[in-house]
Every structure is written in C-alpha cells, then in structure tokens.
Amino acid sequence: MTKCAVVTGATGRAGPLWVSELNDMGYSVFDLNLPEYDVSNLDSVRHFQKRLERRGCVPDVIVNNAAIDNPPGTDASFFGNFERILAVNLTGAVNVCNVFIPAMIKNGGGVIVNIGSVMGFIGADWRNYGGSFEKPVSYNVSKAALVQLSRSVTVQYGRHNIRCVTIAFGPLDVGLPEEFKAKFLKNVPLGRAISEESWRAALRFAVQCPEFAGQAVLVDGGYCAW
C-alpha cells in the first residue's frame, strides 16, 4: 500500500523541501495550500480531508509547515498583524490536527510534524535587524505554541499510536539578507546558517524514529547554547 503524506504550505520557502524529502522516502505527498485551501479555515481543511478520503488516502505523515511572517525588509511592527499570523501559524496547525487525527487513529496511527523555529525558544534580538524593522512577536509566540501543541497531542493520542513532534531551525542558508545574516551568525557557535541537508535530516529523524514523541528538536548551529 502506498504511504501517504500531507504538507501544508507546500509552495512556500521550505515546503518544496519537505515534499521532495517525503517523495524520496516513498510517500505520495498531497499539498494543503492556498489558494484552494486555507489552513486557518476549519471548513476548508475538512473539505481537503474529504477529498483525500475519496481518493483512499489517510496520511501516515502530516507536516504542519504553513506559516506567515513579516520578514526583514517589510514594514513590520512588534505587535503588527498579530491575529492573522496566529490564525495561520498556530490555529492552522490545530485545525489540521483536529480534522485528521480521527482518521489517523482508525488507520493505526501516524506522525504529525510541526515546523518550529529558533524564534520559538528565544526573543528576537532587535540588534540583528536594520532600520526600523521589528520582528513580529506573533511569529515567535506561534512557534513556541507549536512545541506545546506537540506535547499535548502526543499525551492525548499517543495511546492510539499518534506521535506529534516539533522540528525547529535557525535560518535556512538560502536567500537570507546579507546584513541580517552577518549580524545573526556572529552569535552562532558554528558560524553558519542551517543547511538544507540539516533540514532534511531532521524531517527524516522525526518520521523514522518511532519513539520520538511529544518533544522538540532544535537545529540552530548552537545559537541557543550560549
């Protein structure tokens, strides 16, 4: 039987990476993605689940990757866009869990991988950013909350062989603004951003390690080790 996986936000910056890695691992991957489907809308997620069900697919793996942010170079403020960022980054992940877990239980279990961030473990250092930019606190709050979501889902549904985990990362070494990169890496013991291979390896570990459950793995080059 073909293994099935769902990736939310599959066309974003990291989404194609997850799709590629899951394909390499033998999964048929379905993307829950705008504009057709919106993770922040529970009915939209239900519609997507019903579509997969008609195709005989119950996901063995779900990657909650969908997220929005106001990155450097945009007109962002510390408290700006709070509700919308949480609606996508946190409520979206909750909606996906809510809709798919019952079918996963009937199917014998599975793993839900929440994509976190180093920003879920620290406060954003304003000195890393130029000009008047302020890192939106809602992004950090949403990524921290995913760690607790992973714990809670695992405790509630682990008896049904549902694992929920968080894999969190420092900045991916692709397309980083040079000014931000230079400032950020001064405080990274390894002195480099996170490679695509590290992102892929973390996903493989999350999917393939059968007792990795309810916890977070942080791949940050040592940034939080100070």
- 139 noted as active-site residue: yes
Dmax of the chain from CA atoms? 54
In this prediction, residue 17 carries a pLDDT of 95
Instruction: Tell me the per-residue pLDDT of 180-206, one tens digit each, with 9 for 90 and over.
Output: 899 999 999 999 999 999 999 999 999
Q: Where does residue 147 rank: exposed (0-12), middle (13-18), buried (19+ CB within 10 A)?
A: buried
Cβ partners under 8 Å of residue 121, min gap 6:
144, 168, 218, 224
Domain count, the chain: 1
Structure token digits, residue 152: 């809670």
Kindly give the confidence (pLDDT) of every residue in the chain, 226 residues in length, as a single tens digit, with 9 standing for 90 and above: 579 999 999 987 899 999 999 999 999 999 999 999 999 999 999 999 999 999 999 999 999 999 998 765 666 789 988 999 999 999 999 999 999 999 999 999 999 999 999 999 999 999 998 778 888 999 999 999 999 999 999 999 999 999 999 999 999 988 888 888 999 999 999 999 999 999 999 999 999 999 999 999 999 999 999 8
44, containing H or E segment: helix 42-54
Residue matched to tokens 């570990």: 205
User: Which member of 129, 139, 157, 223 is catalytic?
Assistant: 139
What span, in angstroms and rounded, lies between the C-alpha atoms of 163 and 178?
A: 38
The CATH number of whichever domain residue 205 belongs to comes to: 3.40.50.720
Read off the pTM: 0.95
DSSP, collapsed to helix, strand or coil, labels residue 181 as helix
Find the angle CA(63)-CA(184)-CA(124) to the nearest 5 degrees: 65
What span, in angstroms and rounded, lies between the C-alpha atoms of 219 and 216?
A: 10
Structural domain span for residue 194: 3-225
